């Protein structure tokens, strides 16, 4: 029989850090902390397997399966805490929290203070000798439980939470501003009003029976695995549906019991920059989610952090000390204990930890620890620092790199010139680095209103996730570095400035007022997420400067990889950028991209519209010098490395003008009538151009195109060779599905090259190979391999043709497929291993069976996507090729794949 409940407490635990998949991040962390002697309130974890059973079979059968064990575990918590669930004297209260394998901040539900009812509230009051606290906890619990479990949460952005409305009216009647100004009688009357609201809305009394509260809360947490925002977050972060969430039931400790109580969140290193400095935020006399929700401005844990904060906010030292003291100053002994705990945790887990803690009457309790989310810059810095500190070896350090996150480091920053004249608007916290300019929107669901928008909110909530993802940057008036906005933005690698307190945001009028100046929806602003500065207008950006540690990561990637990385580049400039990032050659030059500019497109159109061979040859002769010059630039940039140049691929129809005015112009230039041009355009139209007259079919029907391109390649190669450089041209035939197609093109290429060699009285070694992007090519790769010197997988077309999903039209149904679980991810982004992957594997095997020296690579978009790169490593490709800015990502992904599958 499976075990679904794992208990922890008093230095013992049934689980451990190794059981993350089963216990979730939170549950496994709580277990491990117990095992290493860190103070953790006792509790138990219901496994992710139970959640999956619940999702599959429903509550009745699942709960029947776990009921006895839950009761037993709860009993153990009662014994350890010497408290009793529902007791009128000494009641045990618990929190019921979600906790998936990976953290999904704020996406799922949590309920605190569970176990309170009309009886136990009196018990809590007696035990703590603090009636105000007891009644405050009860009213918070009713609100939380009713919002989440009884579905009383507002459903639209205009609605206000019914409980907030009640408390506001009570405060108004009393003439006070803060919740803390309400006395115990106010709170008691609030509880009455809250319960009335529950009865009015649900028709039932607020559930008084603690067992019933518990089971309903467990069910609500299981249900929250499938709420819309959790689903969206999973899609965004490629988290599988079938992981499920664990549920953690744990004895409550209280940070809101007075001035020696507090609650906070800390990081063992700076999650934004990676600096090795303990940091975080806390609130005195506050409960659980207050810090995370960003409702009150939190204070810094450390003195140094507090001083830095004050400086960034322009707060004077005396004000800081009295109004915003650090924990180090306000509760020095507990601070020291916390500092030791964080050191111990980092030493134990050997990675930056993100911790949640509560101080109850001076006693420290840890409620969570996990590997902290971090920016790309912090990720690199922390991995390298941990290596230098001797805590991890270089292989481990390299595996700590999430390849996709390197992207953030490559992003632009504002130019110094732009910053010189930029009009400063406000300062907030540097929550997530980068530079972003955009037009203001005030609601997450309106982020799409402008192509570049900045989402401006008082604070963000999990509902805003989608809009945050769409916006270029996020700016909030409230909330600290650990607020929802900050954590989520860092996870997304999105520029974010938080807690810019000077901003007055008016949602109704859709305005932002600061220092007497009003900005409206649609106005441009710019954010510097690395400094927290907010500027007026749109600012110019420049490329990122890469730190030395980036180089160290790349050195490790070089050392541990088996595959190498090439780039897809169509211009000498792109080739140079890619070289800087460590690309070893070019995997794909799409020659058609060279035809779109200025004079070239005219010659191209002449070629297409020509009515005979002579006309075509005339036009091709005009294109030749353009191509040759481009190739020379690329060969020069890739000195010493292979350069794969693909022969013309797309349907000719893509090059001709479709509007009458342009057709008229073309007609005039070519001495044709408008009608003749229109007729030709009409003739070129295809029902299904992706399966039409394209790829090698062009070169076969018009061999003069292949001749011209081969001539340009070989002449350019000879010219660059003459300069003393090492040129390695590779000519690639697209869209081959039949060996005869390749054979035909091969003959044209060889003949043309020989002619050029004779003319120039010089030769150069070159390869001829083919793209593998038609399923048939995979099936007959043994025969194709006999004459091809290399294969390069065109996984864009191979995906299109294997799945039968049009690359251009899949957008109409793919989002639906993904949202409804028919597909887990977009197969055009992440290689479909089961289908397309099999094709690739088969083609490699077939090809190598007849040609053991066959070189194999991939140049579709998947070449820069880490999980696909891993697959290509597994099936034994020699290289992957991707766009220049993804080269570092692919290099690290390839090395990690090699380390993982050694």
Selected binder of ligand PEP within 189, 330, 576, 796 (CB under 6 A): 796
Whose CA is closest to 292, among 565, 580, 78, 488? 488
Please give the residues from 748 up to 787 whose contact with Mg ion meets the rule CB under 5 A: 773
Please give the residues from 584 up to 643 whose contact with Mg ion meets the rule CB under 5 A: none
Phi-psi region of 487 (alpha: psi -120 to 50; beta: other; left: phi over 0): alpha
- Per residue in 345-373, is it b (16+ CB within 10 Å) or e — as a string? bbebbebbbbbbbbbbeeebbbbbbbbbb
Strand, coil or helix: what is 729? Answer: strand
Residue nearer to ligand PEP on the CB measure, 408 or 570:
570
Please give the residues from 575 up to 594 whose contact with ligand PEP meets the rule CB under 6 A: 588, 590
Residue nearer to Mg ion on the CB measure, 797 or 826:
797
* Residue 797 is a binding residue for ligand PEP (CB under 6 A): yes
Q: Which does 844 bind (CB under 5 to 8 A by kind): Mg ion, ligand PEP, none?
A: none
Phi-psi region of 778 (alpha: psi -120 to 50; beta: other; left: phi over 0): alpha
How many residues belong to the site for Mg ion (CB under 5 A)?
3
Least Å from the CB of residue 775 to Mg ion:
13
Q: Counting every residue, how long is the chain?
A: 902
859 noted as active-site residue? yes
Pairing, β 533-536 against β 767-772: unpaired
Q: Name the token pair of 353.
A: 């930890």
Q: Which residue has the tokens 């992003």?
A: 411
Q: Which does 795 bind (CB under 5 to 8 A by kind): Mg ion, ligand PEP, none?
A: ligand PEP
Neighbours of 553 (CB within 10 A): 26
856 contacts 841 by C-beta, under 8 angstroms: no
* Residue 773 is a binding residue for ligand PEP (CB under 6 A): yes
Query: d(Cα 165, Cα 188) in Å, to the nearest integer?
Result: 16
Please give the residues from 641 up to 700 whose contact with ligand PEP meets the rule CB under 6 A: 649
Catalytic residue among 411, 484, 653, 744: 484
Least Å from the CB of residue 1 to ligand PEP:
50
Q: Cα dihedral angle (99, 100, 104, 109), rounded to 10 degrees?
A: -40
Q: Name the token pair of 861.
A: 């978009």
Q: CB under 6 A: which stretch of 319-327, 396-404, 788-796, 882-890 binds ligand PEP?
A: 788-796
Q: Name the token pair of 647.
A: 């022969």
Selected binder of ligand PEP within 794, 857, 884, 888 (CB under 6 A): 794
Q: Name the token pair of 733.
A: 């035939």
Residue nearer to ligand PEP on the CB measure, 288 or 863:
863
Phi-psi region of 672 (alpha: psi -120 to 50; beta: other; left: phi over 0): beta
* Residue 797 is a binding residue for Mg ion (CB under 5 A): yes
Q: CB under 6 A: which stretch of 7-15, 457-465, 721-729, 795-803 binds ligand PEP?
A: 795-803
Least Å from the CB of residue 748 to ligand PEP:
21
693 noted as active-site residue? no
Selected binder of ligand PEP within 134, 859, 895, 897 (CB under 6 A): 859
Least Å from the CB of residue 593 to ligand PEP:
9
Positive or negative CA dihedral for 676, 677, 680, 685? negative
* Residue 795 is a binding residue for ligand PEP (CB under 6 A): yes
Using CB atoms within 10 A of its CB, is residue 623 exposed (0-12), middle (13-18) or buried (19+)?
buried
Q: Name the token pair of 845.
A: 């095997």
Q: CB under 5 A: which stretch of 179-187, 471-479, 507-515, 792-800 binds Mg ion?
A: 792-800
Selected binder of ligand PEP within 106, 860, 884, 888 (CB under 6 A): 860
Least Å from the CB of residue 797 to Mg ion:
4
Selected binder of Mg ion within 462, 785, 794, 863 (CB under 5 A): 794
Encode 278-320 in three state secondary structure: CEEEEEECCCCCHHHHCCCCCEECCHHHHHHHHHHHCCCHHHH
Least Å from the CB of residue 568 to Mg ion:
11
Residue nearer to Mg ion on the CB measure, 588 or 604:
588
Query: d(Cα 73, Cα 3) in Å, to the nearest integer?
Result: 12
Least Å from the CB of residue 714 to ligand PEP:
23
Residue nearer to Mg ion on the CB measure, 462 or 794:
794
Catalytic residue among 859, 862, 873, 882: 859
Least Å from the CB of residue 839 to ligand PEP:
12
Catalogue the active-site residues.
484, 859
Provide the binding-site residues for ligand PEP, judged by CB under 6 A: 588, 590, 649, 773, 794-797, 859-860
Provide the binding-site residues for Mg ion, judged by CB under 5 A: 773, 794, 797
């Amino acid at each position: 029989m499976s075990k679904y409940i794992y208990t922890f407490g008093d230095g013992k635990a049934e689980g451990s850090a190794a059981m993350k998949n089963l216990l979730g991040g939170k549950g496994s962390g709580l277990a491990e902390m117990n095992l290493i002697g860190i103070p953790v309130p006792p509790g138990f974890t219901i496994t992710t397997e139970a959640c999956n059973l619940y999702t599959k079979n429903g509550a009745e059968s699942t709960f029947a399966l776990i009921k006895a064990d839950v009761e037993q575990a709860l009993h153990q918590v009662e014994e350890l805490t010497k408290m009793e669930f529902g007791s009128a004297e000494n009641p045990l209260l618990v929190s019921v929290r979600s906790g998936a394998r990976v953290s999904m901040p704020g996406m799922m539900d949590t309920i605190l203070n569970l176990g309170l009812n009309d009886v136990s509230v009196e018990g809590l009051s007696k035990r703590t000798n603090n009636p105000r606290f007891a009644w405050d906890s009860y009213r918070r619990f009713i609100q939380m439980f009713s919002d989440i479990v009884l579905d009383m949460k507002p459903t639209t952005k205009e609605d206000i939470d019914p409980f907030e409305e009640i408390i506001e009216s009570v405060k108004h009647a009393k003439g006070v501003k803060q919740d803390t100004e309400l006395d115990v009688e106010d709170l008691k009357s609030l509880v009455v009003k809250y319960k009335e609201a529950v009865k009015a809305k649900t028709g039932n009394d607020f559930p008084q029976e603690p067992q019933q509260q518990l089971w309903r809360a467990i069910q609500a947490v299981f249900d929250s695995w499938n709420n819309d925002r959790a689903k969206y977050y999973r899609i965004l972060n490629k988290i599988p549906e079938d992981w499920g969430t664990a549920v953690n039931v744990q004895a409550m400790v209280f940070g809101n019991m007075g001035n020696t109580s507090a609650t906070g969140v800390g990081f063992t290193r700076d999650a934004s920059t990676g600096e090795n400095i303990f940091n975080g935020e806390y609130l005195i006399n506050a409960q659980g989610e207050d810090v995370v929700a960003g409702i009150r401005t939190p204070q810094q844990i450390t003195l140094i952090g507090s001083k830095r904060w004050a400086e960034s906010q322009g707060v004077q030292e005396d004000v800081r000390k009295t109004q915003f003291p650090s924990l180090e100053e306000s509760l020095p002994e507990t601070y020291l204990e916390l500092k030791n705990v964080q050191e111990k945790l980092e030493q134990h887990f050997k990675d930056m930890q993100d911790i949640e803690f509560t101080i109850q009457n001076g006693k420290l309790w840890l409620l969570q620890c996990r590997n902290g989310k971090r920016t790309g810059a912090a990720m690199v810095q922390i991995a390298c620092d941990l290596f230098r500190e001797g805590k991890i070896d270089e292989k481990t350090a390299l595996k700590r790199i999430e390849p996709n996150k390197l992207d953030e480091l490559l992003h632009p920053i504002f130019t110094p010139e732009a910053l010189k004249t930029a009009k400063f608007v406000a300062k907030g916290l540097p929550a997530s680095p980068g530079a972003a300019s955009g037009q203001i929107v005030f609601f997450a669901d309106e982020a799409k209103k402008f192509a570049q928008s900045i989402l401006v909110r008082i604070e963000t909530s999990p509902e805003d996730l989608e809009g945050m993802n769409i916006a270029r940057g996020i700016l909030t008036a409230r909330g600290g570095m650990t607020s929802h906005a900050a954590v989520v933005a860092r996870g997304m690698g999105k520029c974010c400035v938080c807690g810019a307190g000077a901003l007055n945001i008016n949602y109704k009028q859709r305005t932002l007022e600061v220092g007497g100046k009003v900005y409206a929806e649609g106005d441009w602003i710019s954010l510097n997420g690395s400094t927290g500065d907010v500027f007026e207008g749109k600012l110019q950006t420049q490329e990122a400067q890469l730190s030395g540690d980036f180089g160290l990561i790349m050195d490790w990637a070089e050392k541990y990889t088996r595959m190498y990385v090439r780039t897809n580049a169509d211009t000498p400039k792109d080739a140079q950028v890619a070289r800087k990032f460590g690309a070893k050659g070019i995997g794909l030059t799409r020659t058609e991209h060279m035809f779109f500019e200025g004079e070239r497109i005219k010659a191209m159109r002449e070629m297409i519209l020509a009515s005979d061979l002579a006309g075509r040859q005339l036009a091709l002769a005009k294109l030749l010098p353009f191509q040759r010059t481009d190739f020379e630039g690329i060969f020069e940039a890739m000195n010493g490395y292979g350069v794969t140049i693909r022969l013309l691929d797309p349907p000719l129809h893509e090059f001709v003008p479709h509007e009458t005015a342009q057709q008229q112009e073309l007609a005039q230039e070519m001495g044709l009538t408008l009608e003749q041009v229109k007729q030709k355009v009409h003739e070129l139209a295809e029902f299904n151009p992706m399966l039409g007259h394209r790829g090698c079919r062009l070169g076969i029907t018009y061999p003069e195109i292949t001749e011209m391109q081969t001539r340009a390649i070989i002449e350019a190669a000879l010219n660059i060779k003459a300069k003393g450089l090492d040129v390695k041209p590779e000519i690639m035939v697209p869209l081959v599905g039949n060996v005869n197609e390749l054979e035909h093109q091969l003959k044209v290429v060889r003949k043309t090259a020989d002619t050029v060699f004779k003319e120039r009285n010089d030769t150069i070694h070159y390869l001829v190979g083919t793209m593998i992007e038609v399923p048939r090519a995979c099936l007959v790769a043994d025969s194709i391999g006999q004459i091809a010197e290399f294969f390069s997988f065109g996984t864009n077309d191979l995906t299109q043709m294997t799945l039968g999903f049009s690359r251009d039209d899949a957008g109409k149904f793919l989002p639906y497929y993904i949202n409804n679980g028919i597909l887990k991810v977009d197969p055009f982004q992440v290689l479909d291993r089961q289908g397309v992957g099999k094709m690739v594997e088969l083609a490699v095997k077939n090809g190598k069976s007849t040609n053991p020296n066959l070189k194999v690579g991939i140049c579709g978009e998947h070449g820069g996507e880490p999980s696909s790169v891993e697959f290509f490593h597994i099936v034994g490709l020699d290289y992957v090729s991707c766009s220049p800015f993804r080269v570092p990502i692919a290099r690290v992904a390839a090395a990690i794949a090699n380390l993982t599958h050694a």
